[in-house]
Amino acid sequence: MARSHFKVGEIAKRTGLSVRTLHYYDEIGLLSPSHHTESGHRMYGHEALARLQQIVSLRELGFSLDEVRDTLTHPGHSALRVVELHIDRLEEQIDAQRRLRSRLEAIARVLAAAEEVSADELIETIKETRMISKYYTPEQLEELKARRDAIGDDRIREVEAEWPQLIEEVRAEMDKGTDPSDPRVRELARRWMGLVREFTGGNPEIAKSVRNVWEQEESVHGMATAPMREMMAYVTKALASEE
């Protein structure tokens, strides 16, 4: 007879999720166990597992935990729609992987002919290409390309020079302990978001993809992401203080 309930440790072992993650979902009210045993063990039944599957799918789609909660509690929510969304995303990823293979083969041929290109540089190129295909849909990449063409190379070089200076200024205010609501920090935050909007064209989905890169990767373009995440949180607080 098939079992109907599982302990948290069994769920973690069989799904690859950590016990800590499942406990956290319980703490924030996102996924509650079906019941607890007399000894206090969390037990998960079919309904809880079905909800967990939806949570995992939405997280794979790039949803934040708050967005997952909002989606699952929306009056028009459908478990079938979550699965369909995940299928659509997987189809996009499969297509992107096929294109990525062709792109990498072309890059490899070019790099192999250039003796001055080191193995480390080749690896970094592959890593960057993988990152782009992992976080951006084909449609987003097309939009970003069109955005780049519209901005022009001169402005792109200006922005590339402006970012390091802006990052240094934000970090300096953080190190000094300046409150995010301070007018100086709010002005830096406005400049920060202006550059982001210039890159994304104001597309919230592309902005979400950019955020996912910095939240989920350990480094981007050779830059550690942990300090950048701290600055992004600082900038977000500064912008919120203006509302």
Whether 49 is covered by a domain: the verdict is yes
Radius of gyration, alpha carbons of the chain? 22
- What would the two tokens of residue 62 be? 């790039």
Instruction: Indicate if the pLDDT at residue 74 is higher than 90.
Output: no
* Claim to verify: residue 154 and residue 129 sit in the same structural domain: no
Question: Residue 217: pLDDT band by 50, 70, 90 thresholds?
Answer: confident
Question: Taking a C-beta distance cutoff of 8 angstroms, is the pair 49, 2 a contact?
Answer: no
Of 47, 73, 99, the one marking the end of a domain is 73
Whether 175 is covered by a domain: the verdict is yes
* Claim to verify: residue 159 and residue 228 sit in the same structural domain: yes
Q: How many domains does the chain have?
A: 3
* Claim to verify: residue 42 and residue 91 sit in the same structural domain: no
What pLDDT, on a 0 to 100 scale, did the predictor assign at position 190?
92
pLDDT tens for each residue of 136-195: 777 777 777 778 788 887 888 888 788 888 888 998 998 889 999 999 999 999 999 888
Whether 143 is covered by a domain: the verdict is no
* Claim to verify: residue 35 and residue 98 sit in the same structural domain: no
* Claim to verify: residue 105 and residue 33 sit in the same structural domain: no
Whether 79 is covered by a domain: the verdict is no
* Claim to verify: residue 190 and residue 233 sit in the same structural domain: yes
Whether 140 is covered by a domain: the verdict is no
What pLDDT, on a 0 to 100 scale, did the predictor assign at position 186?
93
The mean per-residue pLDDT over the stretch 34-61 comes to 82
Structural domain of residue 35, as residue ranges?
A: 6-73
74: number of Cβ within 10 Å: 9
Of 40, 73, 106, the one marking the end of a domain is 73
Pairing of strands 6-7, 42-44: antiparallel
- Distances from the Cα of 19 to the Cαs of 10, 24, 51, 148, 219, in angstroms? 9, 9, 16, 44, 27
* Claim to verify: residue 161 and residue 239 sit in the same structural domain: yes
* Claim to verify: residue 61 and residue 91 sit in the same structural domain: no
Question: For position 55, which CATH number holds?
Answer: 1.10.1660.10
- What would the two tokens of residue 106 be? 């072309």
* Claim to verify: residue 18 and residue 52 sit in the same structural domain: yes
Instruction: Indicate if the pLDDT at residue 116 is higher than 60.
Output: no
Whether 50 is covered by a domain: the verdict is yes
Specify the range with the lowest mean pLDDT, choosing from 114-118, 151-155, 168-172, 229-233.
114-118
Whether 142 is covered by a domain: the verdict is no
* Claim to verify: residue 98 and residue 124 sit in the same structural domain: yes
The mean per-residue pLDDT over the stretch 202-219 comes to 80
- 3-class SS letters over 131-159: HHHHHCCHHHHHHHHHHHHHHCHHHHHHH
57: number of Cβ within 10 Å: 20
Whether 165 is covered by a domain: the verdict is yes
* Claim to verify: residue 225 and residue 183 sit in the same structural domain: yes
What pLDDT, on a 0 to 100 scale, did the predictor assign at position 59?
80
Question: Residue 18: pLDDT band by 50, 70, 90 thresholds?
Answer: confident
pLDDT tens for each residue of 88-102: 777 766 766 676 676
* Claim to verify: residue 163 and residue 242 sit in the same structural domain: yes
